[in-house]
Amino acid sequence: MKGDLEILRGIAPEPERMTAVRRRVLDQIAEHNGPRGLLLLAWTFSAVAAAVAMMLLWPQEKRLAPSWIHLPAAVEPPAFAYELTPPWRGLQEPQPATARPEHPAIEVVGLTDNDVQLRLASSDPDVILYYFVEKSGD
């Protein structure tokens, strides 16, 4: 049995045949790589172009310059309830509300010693406004 199996370990390809096999493999790889390289380049170019187009066409968040308004001395939660005329309709001066509006989109997003930052959303979901209001009476 030993000798028998040694014979099998001696199985070897003819060098010329293996040379031909390797050549065919390398030819196929080269053939495959050529179009694939071009395809990859074209794909990359299209992807970049699409990304740039999306960036340009994507609805931009509309931001306005901070507008300074005065809050009452006592900064109580209802004091944040300001009726703000939508600034995108002419940047009018915000007026204090007589009652807290039911506007759910107003929220305090920052509070420092002197400033209160309000985040206001309009009825237009694409419009988000940030207002900085100064605490008065400090």
Partner 1 sequence: MSATCSGGDLFILWMEEQVDPTPGEAESLRLIEQAHQGDLEAFDRLMRLHERRVFRTATLLLGRPEDADDAVQETFLRLYRAMGSFDASRAFEPWLYRIAVNVCRDLSRRRRWKQWLSLDGWLTAGGSEPATRSHGASREAEIQAALARLSVRERDAVVLRDIEGLSAAEAARALGVSEGTVRSHASRGRAHLRKLLGGSE
Q: Quick check: 69 and 82 in contact, CB under 8 A?
A: yes
Which stretch, 10-18, 68-76, 98-106, 121-129, contacts partner 1 (CB under 8 A)? 10-18
Residue 120's region, left for phi above 0, alpha for psi from -120 to 50, else beta, is beta
Which segment (7-15, 59-67, 78-86, 102-110) binds partner 1 by CB under 8 A? 7-15
Beta strands in the chain (DSSP E): 70-71, 82-83, 95-96, 107-111, 115-121, 128-135
Using CB under 8 A as the binding rule, the residues of this chain from 23 to 52 that contact partner 1 are 24-26, 28-30, 33
Q: Should residue 57 be labelled a site residue for partner 1 when binding is judged by CB under 8 A?
A: no
Contact segment (CB under 8 A) with partner 1 among 3-11, 45-53, 90-98, 105-113 equals 3-11
Number of H helices, E strands in the chain: 2, 6
Contacts with partner 1 by CB under 8 A lie at: 1-9, 11-13, 17-18, 21-22, 24-26, 28-30, 33
